Amino acid sequence: MPQSPINIRQANAQDAQAIADFNSLMAMETEAKTLQPETILGGVQNMIANPAYGYYLVAEQDGQLIGSLMVTSEWSDWRNGLFWWIQSVYIRKEWRRQGIYRQLYGMVKTLAAQDGNICGFRLYVEKDNLKAQQTYQSLGMTATDYLIYEEEQ
């Protein structure tokens, strides 16, 4: 029996728990970090409720979420445009290597073309996550010369 097509759409409030679960799974899988469930759910709900912060895209089949990513913005004075940062990428294990991220990324690019003020896309990836790096490279992204520094408050 053929499977129904994958639907890529912007997330809504009903998707928050699944996205929070994806984020927790991703943090454990890639960095061996345990996220606080109430904190991550609140963060996802806050993003969905405040589009100025960014947005989530989800991939679903037959009403079941199988993947998601988050997009936030960074102003570039050098380019007089916005970079869209792709973050919190997660695809269910049984759906990996089947083009789901490619479809999500394709929707990001479509939305950027409609926006008209997007000058590029950026993401950061855990340095040992070679499969993800290969995926991003296969879609035309290149590693930069920049390192990321942070200070948590």
Q: What are the residues whose beta carbons fall under 8 Å from the beta carbon of 142, sequence distance 6 or more?
A: none
Per-chain mean pLDDT for the chain: 93
All structural domains of the chain, each given as residue ranges with its CATH number in brackets, are 7-138 (3.40.630.30)
Written as six digits, the tokens of 120 are 């590029």
At 118 the pLDDT is 97
| pLDDT tens digits for range 4-63 | 899 999 999 999 999 999 999 999 998 899 999 999 999 999 999 999 999 999 999 999
Given a cut of 90, whether residue 1 has pLDDT beyond it is no
| pLDDT tens digits for range 81-137 | 999 999 999 999 999 999 999 999 999 999 999 999 999 999 988 888 888 889 899
At 36 the pLDDT is 96
Asked whether 116 and 79 are in contact (CB, 8 A), the reply is no
Question: Mean of the pLDDT values across residues 144-150?
Answer: 88
At 24 the pLDDT is 97
- DSSP E strands in the chain: the ranges are 7-10, 55-61, 64-76, 81-91, 118-123
At 147 the pLDDT is 85
Cα dihedral: 22, 24, 28, 32 (round 10):
150
Q: What is the CA 62 to chain-centroid distance, rounded?
A: 21
Residue reference for tokens 């994806």: 22
- Name the band, by pLDDT with cuts 50, 70 and 90, for residue 2: low
